[in-house]
Chains A and B, each alone.
Chain A
Amino acid sequence: MAARYTKDHEWVRVEGDVATCGISVFAAEQLGDVVYVELPAVGRQVEQGGEMAVVESAKAASDVYAPVTGEIIAVNDALTSNPEKVNEGPEGEGWFVKIQLTKPGEVDALMDEAAYAAFAKA
């Protein structure tokens, strides 16, 4: 399915009942050069809108919030040694986590690409 976006600039792409999540191209551009990513432990339960990860650019640390509720079933370990992947492909190779959805309906309320583009520009 196509990506959906949160107001906090996370994206989520759902296949079956698993959501792959990361930060948007817009967010990565705003951050500038990412130098560190702190990912949650596999098995952790996250709530939509709750703290999930931390991304640090050269100048500041920013929280990344869970776009959906569920269990972390995988994290992108490559970001630990190569945080620049977040800048190179924020909505591709720079994904953060995979979440096993417990409230699939939450996804429908997120913005689609057109709505998010308008939101990010505002």
Chain B
Amino acid sequence: MGERTGSLKHLPLDALWRASAKKFGDFAGYDMPLEFEGLIPEHHWTRTQAGLFDVSHMGPCFFALPKGHGLEGDAAHRAVAAIIEELVPGDIQGLKPGQVRYTTLLNASGGCLDDLMIARPAEPGAAGDLYIVVNAGTKEQDFALIAQAAAGRANLVRADDRCLLALQGPAAEAVARAVISDDLGAISFMQVKRFDAFGRLTITRSGYTGEDGFEILVRAEHAGALAAALLADERVKPIGLGARDSLRLEAGLCLYGHELDETISPIEADLAWIIQKRRRALGDFPGGARILEEIAEGPTRRRIGIRPLERAPARDGVEIHKDGRKVGVVTSGGFSPILNAPISMGYVETALAVPGTRIDLMVRGTARPAEIVALPFVPHRYRKG
């Protein structure tokens, strides 16, 4: 414990976390703090106060029309959004200034290459820019794919040399207003705004815990001061990647490589809501034929929540059986500190993807009874506008 591993990349704030984290580990090639006080107390702290997560391993970037594009306002936005829409099924052209959307990068067969956030900046001077955040493990391929698709019509500028800090929990708003700007109270869930504090911050009201909160992009030279100011508030504690995963699982959110991969469509993943009306009518995205057919006819498999009826957790890879026949597989599983019980997500044949359906989880060769349940396991508490 505690030793630095040579081949792994380190977060800009590595030294800060190393002073208090109990455990580090490799995630997507980064040596990440996994645990501070302990997964379960950190989890509860985030649900009752505010947790500070360093997610600087992720892939923030700006995607912008070339300088001198000559377009203004909505026209500039539509031009850059039309380019990214060649890769995703979301209505990016329809974003209002300051609005953020969750979407997926698709391959030609409608499978997900990644899930990501795309934001239209609120500032009129940034018309023609998009702020995009992709996953850590896929960022190299994603950035290459986006830049290639743009083919000179827009430029991708990586921002993953900066820090991305997530402040999550019921106290997040009060803390962020006190430390950064009182104006943060005016932005709602899935909105973005720039703030002239700690250098210049790009802040989205978003996160991956099911709680209200913010994701803050800050230049590395100002990140230490920002983290220190946030941690100086007694309502804030640093939270490791371990609790980030248990919070995400309770919130019923997809983790790329588990609930999403190159074979899984957004419809199978129960993410039909990410495909807005305009894109659905057009079907003009990669894999459009498959995805429209799945919307109309239903997919062959669907993502579900699972509550084991006994104490044994069922983790990624556990087979799901019904009447002795394999009908699906677990994609994430663990323990819910809030429910004090094991929880899992997975995929089953669509006919069985109904809350209340009894299934068996094949944990180390033993069939353990479980029930399919609605997601999320713990209600979201986003601050809707």
A residues whose Cβ falls under 8 Å from a Cβ of B: 32-33, 35-36, 38, 54, 56-61, 80, 83
Contact = CB atoms under 8 A, between A and B. Distances in A.
Q: Most chain-B CB neighbours within 10 Å: which of A32, A54, A60?
A: A32
A56 B312 CA distance: 8
B309 to A, nearest CB: 13
B47 interface: no
B39 A61 contact: no
Contacts of B38: 32-33
Interface string B327-364: 00000001101000010000000000000000000001
A44 B317 CA distance: 27
A35 B35 contact: no
Given A58-B335, A59-B334, A36 B312 contact: yes
B40 A33 contact: yes
B213 interface: no
B296 to A, nearest CB: 40
A36 B342 contact: yes
B40 A56 contact: no
Nearest to B341: A35
9 contacts: A32-B35, A32-B39, A33-B38, A33-B40, A36-B342, A58-B40, A58-B242, A58-B334, A58-B337
Contacts of A54: 364
B133 to A, nearest CB: 25
B246 interface: yes
Question: Size band of the B side of the interface?
Answer: 10 to 19
A122 to B, nearest CB: 11
Contacts of A80: 311
A80 to B, nearest CB: 7
B245 interface: yes
Interface of B: 34-35, 38-40, 43, 242, 245-246, 311-313, 315, 334-335, 337, 342, 364
A81 B66 CA distance: 63
A63 to B, nearest CB: 10
Find the residue from B43, B242, B311 having the highest chain A CB count within 10 A: B311
What are the 10 tightest A-B residue pairs by CB atom distance, in nearest-first order?
Answer: A35-B335, A58-B39, A58-B335, A33-B40, A59-B242, A36-B311, A56-B313, A36-B312, A32-B38, A32-B39
A64 B373 CA distance: 32
Contact of A61 (B35, B242, B246, B315): B315
B364 A35 contact: no
A24 to B, nearest CB: 15
Given A54-B364, A58-B242, A58-B246, A38 B312 contact: yes
Contact of A36 (B245, B246, B313, B337): B313
B313 A61 contact: yes
A54 B313 CA distance: 11
Contact of B39 (A38, A56, A59, A83): A59
B246 to A, nearest CB: 6
Scoring A35, A59, A80 by chain B CB atoms within 10 A of each residue's CB, the highest score goes to A59
A26 B313 CA distance: 23
A60 to B, nearest CB: 8
A36 B313 CA distance: 8
A82 to B, nearest CB: 10
Contact of B245 (A35, A38, A59, A61): A59
Nearest to A54: B364
Contacts of A61: 313, 315
B39 A33 contact: yes
A87 to B, nearest CB: 10
Contacts of A32: 35, 38-40, 242
| A54, A56, A60, A80 interface centre (most CB from chain B within 10 Å) | A56
